[in-house]
Structure 1
Amino acid sequence: MHIAYYITAHGYGHGVRSCDILAALLARHSDIRVTVTTDLPEVFLSSRLQEADGRLTVRPGAFDVGMVQKDSIRVDVDATLDEALELAAERPVLVDIEAEFLRGEGADLVVADIPSIPLEAAAEAGLPAVAVGNFSWDWIYAPFTARDPRWLRVINLFEQGYRQA
């Protein structure tokens, strides 16, 4: 089985959780191979998944913007919206490209912690998909709609994507 696993690079918590999941899967199932797509540093993943025995491939890629941060504790809501709207404009092309990648790689399952574009790509490629997380970006962004109604477009796109899982 080939799992295409997508991890947001917004904070290391997603990566830590996903590495725990991947380590358990790889330890229990010798027939699983995984392609991880993330902008997390490859050394972050490889240092936590040393038992992968060549069954893990990492490719760079990002499919959400998370929250743009002003510094280590403050977010820039306006900059986040700008980047999220840019991503929304690119979304149809990204879904198509990623669906083609999934078909070309022979993926059997898509797992996303927690970008939604890979879930849409999985649906387009006819693959099952699982979303992993303790929150979703539509939920995080929802309070910002009172500040700027353009957030509704971003939220709706995430909701559509998450429904594919």
Structure 2
Amino acid sequence: MSNLTVYIAITNHGFGHAARTAAIAGQLQKLLPSVKLIMVTTAPKWLLECYIDGDFSYRQRGFDVGVVQADSLKMDLDATLAKWQNIIASKDEIIAEEVAFCQEQGVSLVFADLPPLATLIAKKLGVPCWMSGNFGWDFIYRDWGKEFQAIADWIGECYQQCDRLFRVPMHESMDRFPVIEDVGLTGGDPKYPLDKIRDKFNLTQPKERTILLTFGGLSLDAIPYQNIDRFPGYQFITLDAHAPDLPNLVKVVDRAYRPVDFMPLCDRVVSKPGYSTYAEALKLQIPIVSLTRTGFAESEIILNGMQDYGYHQVISPDLFFADNWDFLNLPLQPPRVSAKLATDGNCSIASSIVDYFNVNPSC
């Protein structure tokens, strides 16, 4: 196939979907340097550049909502519903505009995580739509009452038109998708020498006394950083630019660095439920301390997966926002099962796209 152009549509929700999809795109570019990547997302370009080393086209568009949130835990369902109603009302115009763009660019494959409109764009364009993910948005919305049922039904109908789903671990059934292929964990890998990280950020404590705090692109409102003072023998790392200056808090503001780049130097990661953070930590076998999250159906699934396959600790938001962080003194729990998750999702998906283009490189 002569035209090696992939239109990659990413769901409009936080940074996790963009990070894991960009990691796949970056692997594809390594296997097939001649491929043209069109990254279609509202996530910032600098985030994609952390995962894709070479050139790509950046098209700032959003075709779904995900969840409107004030931070990584607080959801606004009314605003989410209103935005979805606007998108569905405008879908014909959106599809026509994107099809015209794809025709100009010579797109021969649509790949998506996991905006439902991507399937309709691909059908109108006359090319396959492949997707990857661990849940569909209809799965999330069905828990939110009758106001969301029509939207969930419409999303499910879109997903039924997907030609191939790469289902990653810690997933719901995703049985609306007609063709499902299970793959390993996706997400980023560390890309800097650990000695360079230690020297650049003056990480003086050993791994056993180093803790990474990461809560996704939206972070959390009012993280109680003052609790760090209670652990003077530890060093904490955060990529939150708004964190206070504390003696044992390393604040990383250089956007070239990602949480996964620090994980190998840490004893544990303190986070909220999120596939990308969990997957990157599980791939590196770094223990996870996770808050719980209510009202978001994916959370229970991935919390169970995290407990099954990694050393872990599950805490309530009340414990996290308390004024002591005593949970850091408690022992971690071992994985609940002995089986290991496959970690080759990036390569499996990228290799399948290479095969679609009838070229030979492999991981």
Same fold (TM over 0.5): yes
Runs of 4+ in 1 over 4 A off after TM superposition: none
| 1:91 aligned residue | 91
RMSD: 1.3
User: Any conservation in 2 of the 1:88–1:157 contact (CA below 8 Å)?
Assistant: no
Q: How many aligned residue pairs are there?
A: 159
Give the secondary structure class of the aligned counterpart of 2:142: helix
The offset of 1:122, in angstroms, is: 0.5
The offset of 1:15, in angstroms, is: 1.4
State yes or no: 1:3 paired with 2:6.
Answer: yes
| 1:44 aligned residue | 47
User: AA paired with 2:29?
Assistant: L
State yes or no: 1:12 paired with 2:15.
Answer: yes
The offset of 1:18, in angstroms, is: 0.8
| 2:30 aligned residue | 27
The offset of 1:9, in angstroms, is: 3.3
| 1:107 aligned residue | 107
Give the secondary structure class of the aligned counterpart of 1:10: coil
Bigger relative contact order, structure 1 or 2, given CA contacts below 8 A and separation 6+? 1
Distance 2:135 2:29 in 1: 25
Residues 76-130 of structure 1 deviation map (CA, whole Å, 9 limit, x = unaligned): 1122111111111111221122122212211010001110112211101101011
Percent same amino acid at aligned positions? 30
The offset of 1:152, in angstroms, is: 2.1
User: AA paired with 2:147?
Assistant: R
1:162 to 159, 164, 188: 159
Q: Where in structure 2 are there 5+ consecutive unaligned residues?
A: 163-363
User: AA paired with 1:37?
Assistant: V
Distance 2:23 2:150 in 1: 33
User: Any conservation in 2 of the 1:98–1:118 contact (CA below 8 Å)?
Assistant: no
Larger % of helix: which? Answer: 1
Give the secondary structure class of the aligned counterpart of 2:69: coil
Distance 2:69 2:35 in 1: 36
Q: Is the alpha carbon distance of 1:21 and 1:40 closer, same or farther for their aligned partners in structure 2, counting shifts above 3 Å?
A: same
Distance 2:141 2:51 in 1: 30
Give the secondary structure class of the aligned counterpart of 1:4: strand
User: Any conservation in 2 of the 1:102–1:122 contact (CA below 8 Å)?
Assistant: no
User: Any conservation in 1 of the 2:99–2:125 contact (CA below 8 Å)?
Assistant: yes
Q: Where in structure 1 are there 5+ consecutive unaligned residues?
A: none
- Taking structure 2 as the reference length, the TM-score comes to 0.42
Distance 1:137 1:36 in 2: 20
Distance 2:37 2:70 in 1: 34
Distance 2:99 2:157 in 1: 16
Distance 2:71 2:35 in 1: 39
The offset of 1:74, in angstroms, is: 1.4
User: Any conservation in 1 of the 2:108–2:127 contact (CA below 8 Å)?
Assistant: yes
User: Any conservation in 1 of the 2:12–2:63 contact (CA below 8 Å)?
Assistant: no
The offset of 1:72, in angstroms, is: 3.2
Distance 1:104 1:119 in 2: 19
Task: Report the structure number with the largest CA radius of gyration.
Answer: 2
User: Any conservation in 2 of the 1:138–1:158 contact (CA below 8 Å)?
Assistant: yes
Distance 1:19 1:112 in 2: 11
The offset of 1:153, in angstroms, is: 2.1
Residues 41-71 of structure 1 deviation map (CA, whole Å, 9 limit, x = unaligned): 0011112212x2x3x1111000011111143
